[in-house]
Amino acid sequence: MDILLESMSKPVIALMKGVVFRENDERLWQQLEDGQSALRDYVQVLGLELIVDASEGYAWLKTREPLEGEEPLPRLVGRRKLSYPVSLIIALLRKKLAENDSSGEETRLILSVEEITDMVKVFFPAGGNEARLVDRINSHLNKIADLGFIRRLKGRNDKIEVIRILKAFVDAQWLHDFDERLNQYRETIGAGSNDQGHEN
């Protein structure tokens, strides 16, 4: 029993603190995979669900959907509020990741701040100060880095790696909600009454 407890403690604690990546700690990952079903039962009590993506090599805890007829539990996993620019950049990075996957070869997606700026520019009011735009984008990127979806390369501050976990959090459902919300917003401000480009 003690051995079981010990082998479970580390993975549970690590998961409570954040996403566990295989490449960061192979041993911990092994423990996590071995004890998967026990861990799953354990965190279920807390209203959490263990998600393990073995092929991508990461695992994390998310809020468990209440079963039918079950009273929803208080959420342990917090929700971050995202500003519009941050949401938009996240969506565009997700697109880059999907494109990268369909062109093959590299699993690592590394972009420069310049590339990201070019990609994002068309969604912000034209004109004005280019340098200020870059500054603002940099500060949005810092927020995204705090969320754990990107990281800056060591020694190269202008290069950014998109961490593949982004795929798990920014899924089709999330993007769909974003799209809906944009549609609503567009209606409230009465911009472009045509519904072009919006699909259900």
By beta-carbon proximity to other proteins, the closer residue of 69 and 128 is 128
By beta-carbon proximity to other proteins, the closer residue of 115 and 148 is 148
User: Which phi and psi angles does 197 have, rounded to 5°?
Assistant: 85, -10
By beta-carbon proximity to other proteins, the closer residue of 3 and 191 is 191
By beta-carbon proximity to other proteins, the closer residue of 40 and 159 is 159
User: Nearest distance from residue 145's CB to other proteins, in Å?
Assistant: 5
- Determine contact, residues 30/47, Cβ cutoff 8 Å: no
- Which candidate, 120, 105, 117, places its Cα nearest to that of 158? 117
Token pair recorded at residue 120: 């994002």
User: Nearest distance from residue 120's CB to other proteins, in Å?
Assistant: 10
- Determine contact, residues 141/33, Cβ cutoff 8 Å: no
User: Which phi and psi angles does 52 have, rounded to 5°?
Assistant: -120, 120
User: Nearest distance from residue 4's CB to other proteins, in Å?
Assistant: 22
User: Nearest distance from residue 124's CB to other proteins, in Å?
Assistant: 6
By beta-carbon proximity to other proteins, the closer residue of 134 and 182 is 182
- Determine contact, residues 22/29, Cβ cutoff 8 Å: yes
By beta-carbon proximity to other proteins, the closer residue of 4 and 16 is 16
Pairing mode of beta strands 150-153, 156-162: antiparallel
Dist CA 166 CA 168 (whole Å): 5
User: Nearest distance from residue 52's CB to other proteins, in Å?
Assistant: 14
Residues in Cβ contact with 97 at an 8 Å cutoff, skipping those fewer than 6 apart? 109, 162, 164, 166, 167
